[in-house]
Amino acid sequence: MTHRFPIKEIARQAGLGTATVDRVLNNRAHVSPQTKVRIQAALKELEAQELQMAARGRKMFIDVIVEAPRRFSDQVRAACETTISEFHSVAFRPRFLFQEVMTSADIELAFERIRKRGTQGVLLKARDIPLVREGVDRLEAGGTPVVTLATDLPDTMRTKYVGIDNANAGRTAAFVIDKVLSDPSGIVLTTRSQDEFQGEAERFEHFKRQLFKLRPGLKLIVVSGGAGVSGDTKRLLAEKLADVTHLSAVYSMGGGNRAILEVLENQHLKPAHFIGHDLDSDNLQLLKQGQISFVLYHDLNQDMHNALVAIAARHRLGNPPNQTVLNDIQLITPFNIPALQLSPLKS
Q: Are strands 330-332 and 294-297 parallel, antiparallel or unpaired?
A: antiparallel
**Residue 326 or 175, more confident:** 175
Task: Report how far residue 335's alpha carbon sits from residue 276's, in angstroms, rounded to the nearest whole number.
Answer: 16
In the chain the domains, ranked by start, together with CATH numbers, are 7-163+300-327 (3.40.50.2300), 166-297+334-345 (3.40.50.2300)
pLDDT at 1: 53
Q: With beta carbons less than 8 A apart as the criterion, state whether 128 and 198 touch.
A: yes
Q: Is 127 exposed, middle or buried (0-12, 13-18, 19+ CB in 10 A)?
A: buried
Q: What value does the mean pLDDT take over residues 119-125?
A: 97
pLDDT over threshold 90, residue 129: yes
How many Cβ atoms from other residues are within 10 Å of residue 267's Cβ?
A: 16
- The H or E element spanning position 283 is helix 281-289
Contact 229, 256 (CB under 8 A): yes
29, 20 contact by CB (below 8 A): no
How far is the first Cα of the chain from the last one, in angstroms, to the nearest whole number? 37
Q: Check if the beta carbon of residue 250 is closer than 8 Å to that of residue 189.
A: yes
Statement: residue 162 has pLDDT above 50? yes
Q: What is the mean pLDDT of residues 33-53?
A: 77
Report pLDDT for 58.
78
pLDDT tens across 260-294, in order?
A: 999 999 999 999 999 999 999 899 999 999 999 99
Confidence band of 342 (pLDDT split at 50, 70, 90): very low
- Give the helix, strand, coil percentages of the chain, each rounded to 5: 45, 20, 35
Query: Rounded to an integer, what distance in angstroms lies between the CA atom of residue 320 and that of residue 160?
Result: 10
Considering the chain, what is the average pLDDT of its residues? 89
One DSSP character per residue, 120-165 reads S-EEEE----HHHHHHHHHHHHTT--EEEESS--TTS--SEEESB-
The residue-averaged pLDDT of 218-222 equals: 96
Q: What are phi and psi of 159, to 5 degrees?
A: -70, -45
Which ranges of 26-157 does DSSP label H, i.e. alpha helix? Answer: 33-49, 70-83, 104-117, 130-141
User: Using CA atoms, how far apart are residues 66 and 21, in angstroms rounded to an integer?
Assistant: 24
Model confidence pLDDT, tens digit, residues 77-121: 999 999 998 887 788 999 999 999 999 999 999 999 998 889 999
Instruction: Return the C-alpha torsion angle 77, 190, 226, 281, nearest 10.
Output: -30
